[in-house]
Amino acid sequence: MCGIVGYVGPQQAQGVVIEGLRRLEYRGYDSAGIALVHDEQLVTDKRAGKLANLEKALAEQPLPASTTGIGHTRWATHGAPTDRNAHPHLGRDGRVAVIHNGIIENFAELRAELESAGHEMRSDTDTEVAAHLLEQEVEDGADLTTAMQRVCRRLTGAFTLVAVDAAEPDRVVAARRNSPLVVGLGDGENFLGSDVAAFIEHTREALELGQDQVVTLTRDGVAVSTFEGEAAEGKPYHVDWDLSAAEKGGFDWFMRKEIFEQPHAVADALLGRRDADGKLQLDEVRMSVDELRSIDKIIIVGCGTAFYAGLVAKYAIEHWTRIPCEVELSHEFRYRDPILTRTTLVVAISQSGETADTLMAIRHAREQHSKVLAICNTNGSTIPRESDAVIYTHAGPEIGVASTKGFTTQLIANYLLGLYLAQVRGSMFGDEIAKVTTELEGMPAAVQRVLDGADELYALAGRMRDARSVLFLGRHAGYPVALEGALKLKELAYLHAEGFAAGELKHGPIALIEPGLPVFCVVPPQGRDFLHDKMVSAIQEIRARGARTIVLAEEDDESVAAYADEMLRLPRVSTLLQPLLAVLPLQLFACELATQLGHDVDQPRNLAKSVTVE
Ligand code: M6R
């Protein structure tokens, strides 16, 4: 949601800013704009629609040369996505330009105050009040940093603000509260971005900012302070991926590239998790053995795909640790007064580490003295920073809006957490833990085998281009896979799609079955697993009513073939690990169907990659 770029240095700022915005396009947006400082004046351009519209306008009417600039891609909250509401916004006299991510909750009262003092607003946004307030401060004699500190003290809500002042040409000042912002540290130049993708082609040295901090960028330095004006420090870190990870590498979509990265991503998520004796070690979990032993309840929170990863985790964690485990959508958890104690462990799953709903949930949990462990993919992001412990998923940047390798590596992190808790608490024997860990270590190869069958899924998508509604069925750990398969289809192909627990069919959803309706069915592994036979019965029931069954089953499972219109084979694994494989055909199918329908797979309509507002 909203992309932010800032630059000060020797290069032409326009090129750096536009390139940065391009790399942030994946976050989701509906207008774009830029402001440069030139000859002690501000020059701006901003356009509704895609970045290409802004670039076209800049090509037709170039802005003058400048080495200081800010740029923005806006995901509309207050005011329609028009040229007028696009950022940057200027103060009354056009001296200060501001871009913003988040929501200024008290903007109405600030706007009324400004209007009664004679300020005329030129947009419907909450952002514009910040531009007027900042400009008022600098016109009253404050430097831009001091002005930012003073204005931020007056704002409530979530915001990243970035500003330039025409009278201070080589300076960009920014502030963050509950909204992402990272500094890129260059040599004689410095950068700002909503995330490191904005400047990864210029530097891999970054500075993490804390909550309620202001940062001032010049060519030669970066100074951090609090909103109260006291000196503060950011936390430097090295970005462990490079430009190639932020490019499509020959694929048509980032999503497709990320699907095919999963064998590596899963391997990286597992890397270095066993010590010389083969025992699990999770160094990143900064909680003592005593703390881990005292846990008597686990609550997993997340949104969208991360929530579904949590649903899978519940089956595994409860089975292995015998600790009661609940899973809840972050936004529901936060506002229902959940029962939390010092011995509750809240596990927050978030690929981006910036999802506002999940951030608010963990803050609430910590206020109630519960411990919070984050499962996150993004180094330097807010959720792990505000958690007591973290397991990083090491998937590399996920740029496609639809989460793929984010999901599978979240599953790995959850499996590792469950097994580690079992090891610490003695709820499983060492050889049992070793057996599952060894099976996990075989998953990258199994993932690759499923992906090798991609052409079959592409052909299936071709045959299903006319589908108007698609159902997904699963049982046990396959149930969240059904939900995830449906979510992928909704967000990418804009189709009605629903996932159900197969056991629930007879309680209502079976009424939806009509001749020809496509239903994906995730069949649990065979063997001693009674779930398998119940799932096969469910498939027979819908087939008898005319459903077109697309069955995902183990490669040597012949019991179900007679009821399958389409058969998709999965390598043999244990029930709890099967979601890692069963989700892959559903990702490939959704990506391909959306492609064939002509949709923008990486930036589906109305969606943002990082949902940074509640
Ligand atoms: O960054 P997060 O994992 O916290 O994001 C959570 C959801 O917004 C995300 O999984 C979303 O549902 C994806 N678009 C699903 O593909």
* pLDDT tens per residue across span 309-363: 999 999 999 999 999 999 999 999 989 989 999 999 999 999 999 999 999 999 9
Question: Has residue 561 got a pLDDT over 70?
Answer: yes
Residue 522's alpha-carbon distances to 102, 311, 467, 475, in angstroms, are 39, 16, 19, 8
- 490 is an active site residue: no
| Candidate list 2, 152, 303, 521, residue with the active-site label | 2
The stretch 454-460 carries a mean pLDDT of 96
pLDDT of residue 26: 85
The stretch 153-158 carries a mean pLDDT of 94
Residue 401 CA, ligand 1 centroid: distance in Å: 8
The stretch 281-305 carries a mean pLDDT of 92
Domains along the sequence of the chain with CATH: 3-246 (3.60.20.10), 254-450 (3.40.50.10490), 453-596 (3.40.50.10490)
**Which residue has the least CA distance to atom 9 on ligand 1?**
304
pLDDT of residue 81: 87
User: What dihedral angle (degrees, nearest 10) is formed by the CA atoms of 405, 407, 412, 415?
Assistant: -170
How distant is the alpha carbon of residue 199 from its chain centre?
19
Lowest-confidence region among 104-113, 172-181, 491-500, 601-610: 601-610
Which pLDDT band, with edges at 50, 70 and 90, does 612 fall under? confident
Question: Has residue 257 got a pLDDT over 80?
Answer: yes
**Mean pLDDT value across the chain:** 94
Length of the chain: 614
The letter for the amino acid at 432 is E
pLDDT of residue 293: 94
Is the CB–ligand 1 distance for residue 355 below 6 Å? yes
Is the CB–ligand 1 distance for residue 258 below 6 Å? no
Which pLDDT band, with edges at 50, 70 and 90, does 283 fall under? confident
Q: Dig out the tokens for 186 from the structure.
A: 């260059």
pLDDT of residue 570: 97
| Residue from 1, 329, 330, 352 whose mutation best tests the ligand 1 pocket (most atoms within 8 A of CB) | 352
- Distance, in Å, from the CA atom of 590 to the CA atom of 552, rounded to the nearest integer, reads 15
Portion of the chain with pLDDT greater than 90, in percent: 88
pLDDT of residue 593: 97
- 609 is an active site residue: yes
Phi, psi dihedral angles at 38 (to 5 degrees): -135, 120
Question: Has residue 529 got a pLDDT over 70?
Answer: no
Q: Are the C-beta atoms of 535 and 482 separated by less than 8 Å?
A: no
* Predicted TM-score of the model (pTM): 0.84
Which residue reads 């936060």 in tokens? 334
Is the CB–ligand 1 distance for residue 301 below 6 Å? no
Lowest-confidence region among 110-124, 136-150, 518-532: 518-532
The stretch 22-49 carries a mean pLDDT of 94
DSSP class of residue 599? Answer: -
Task: Please spell the DSSP secondary structure of 464-523, one letter per residue.
Answer: TTT-SEEEEEE-TTHHHHHHHHHHHHHHHH--EEEEEEGGGGGGTGGGG--TT-EEEEEP
Mind listing the pLDDT tens digit for each residue in 160-176? 999 999 999 999 999 99
The stretch 231-240 carries a mean pLDDT of 92
- Ranked by mean pLDDT, the top range of 75-89, 256-270, 596-610 is 256-270
Which pLDDT band, with edges at 50, 70 and 90, does 76 fall under? confident
**Minimum-distance ligand 1 atom for the alpha carbon of 352:** 1
- Distance, in Å, from the CA atom of 552 to the CA atom of 584, rounded to the nearest integer, reads 11
Which pLDDT band, with edges at 50, 70 and 90, does 179 fall under? confident
* Residues paired with 189 in a beta bridge: none
Residue 459 CA, ligand 1 centroid: distance in Å: 28
The stretch 393-409 carries a mean pLDDT of 95
The stretch 142-170 carries a mean pLDDT of 96
By CB atoms closer than 10 A (0-12, 13-18, 19+), residue 274 is: middle
